[in-house]
Amino acid sequence: MHPDVRDGTDKQVLRVIVNGEERRGVVDVRTTLADFLRHDLSLTGTHLGCEHGVCGACTVLLDGTAVRACLMLAVQADGCQIETVEGLGDGDELNPLQAAFHRNHALQCGFCTAGFLMSITGALRDGPVETEQEAREVLSGNICRCTGYAGMIRAVLETSEQVYGTQAAS
């Protein structure tokens, strides 16, 4: 990559594959991945809640792994596959996890929702979630201030059951 130094700032060309589509940009090297997604690529579904890696609102999947986009530089994602909330559904149709959130009132203000959806999506790819305690652990890396998590727990268990066909323990 060729750094293009202008006005004393370092810039780099960046190529990422976001939700299956190749996207390019030129960014200041200090631009975070979250800001690149939100402002350069206009993918504003990913949100910033703390910018120090705790709340999880900025969670995206990078080469299949859940990461905090607020703590990564955009240039660190050069050449990587990124999945954001905008890529979960199919057009207007909600995917099973999104539909489960809707049925179970697992969101209120919705600000944290994208981060939860991506964290859960990553976790469900690793295997089924069959008990309430396991569901709580999957959710524990993200903070929600509105819902108290009850609807999300049901949504995780229902989606796991739908995806893996195993009955959740009551």
Partner 1 sequence: MSRRAERDTALLPPAAAPFTKNMIGAAIARREDHRLLTGHGKFLDDLDMPDTLEAAFLRSDFAHARILGIDTSAALDLPGVIAVFTGEDLRPIMKPMPAKVAHPDLQEMPRLPMALDAVHYVGEPVAVVIATSRYIAEDALELIDVDYQELPAISSTAAALAQGSPLAHEGARDNIAVHAVQRAGDPDAAFAAAPHVLSETFRVTRGGGHSMECRAVAARFETATGQLVVWDSTQAPHYARNALANLYDMPEDDIRLIAPADVGGGFGPKAQFYGEEAVVPWVAMQLRKPVKWIEDRRENFIATMMERTQTHRIKVAFDDDGILIALQDVFEHDQGAYVAGLQVPMITLSTVPGPYKIPNIHTELYSCYTNIVPTSSVRGAGRPQAVAAMERMMDRIAEYLGIDPGEVRRRNLIQPDEFPYRVGIMFRDGSPLTYDSGNYPELLSGVIERIDYDGWRRRQAELRKEGRLIGIGIACYVEGCGLGPYEGAKARLTNSGDVLVTLAAAPQGQGYETVYAQIASDAMGLDMRYIGVTTGDTGRIPFGQGTFASRITATAGPAVLQACQALRARIFTTAAIMLKLEADNFVFRGDRVCLAEDESIGVTLREVTQVANVGKHGITLLRGVPAGLETQAYFAPERAAYASGAHAAVIEVDPETGRITVLKYVIGHDCGTVINPMLVDGQVLGGFAAGIGNAMYEEQFYDSSAQPQTTSYLDFSLPSAIEVPPVTLFHIQSPSPLNPLGAKGAGEGGTIPAPAAIANAAEDALRPFSARINEMPVTPPRIVAAIAGRTPVVH
Closest CA relative to residue 86, chosen from 122, 114, 63, 111: 114
Contact footprint for partner 1 (CB under 8 A): 7-8, 28, 30-31, 38, 42-52, 54-55, 57, 84-86, 88-89, 92, 94, 98, 101-103, 105, 107-114, 117, 132, 135-137, 139-153
DSSP string, 33-61: HHHIIIIIS--TTS--S-SSSSS-TTEEE
Our CB check for partner 1 shows the closer of 9 and 166 to be 9
Our CB check for partner 1 shows the closer of 130 and 132 to be 132
* CB 71 within 8 Å of CB 57: no
DSSP-derived 3-state class of residue 106? coil
**Shortest distance, position 51 Cβ to partner 1, whole Å:** 6
Structure tokens at 131: 């008990």
DSSP-derived 3-state class of residue 15? strand
**Shortest distance, position 150 Cβ to partner 1, whole Å:** 5
Single-letter residue type at 76? Q
Our CB check for partner 1 shows the closer of 21 and 165 to be 21
Q: How far apart are CA 90 and CA 94, in angstroms?
A: 7
**Shortest distance, position 166 Cβ to partner 1, whole Å:** 21
Q: How far apart are CA 119 and CA 106, in angstroms?
A: 14
Our CB check for partner 1 shows the closer of 43 and 80 to be 43
**Shortest distance, position 61 Cβ to partner 1, whole Å:** 13
Our CB check for partner 1 shows the closer of 12 and 31 to be 31
**Shortest distance, position 136 Cβ to partner 1, whole Å:** 4
Q: How far apart are CA 8 and CA 139, in angstroms?
A: 42
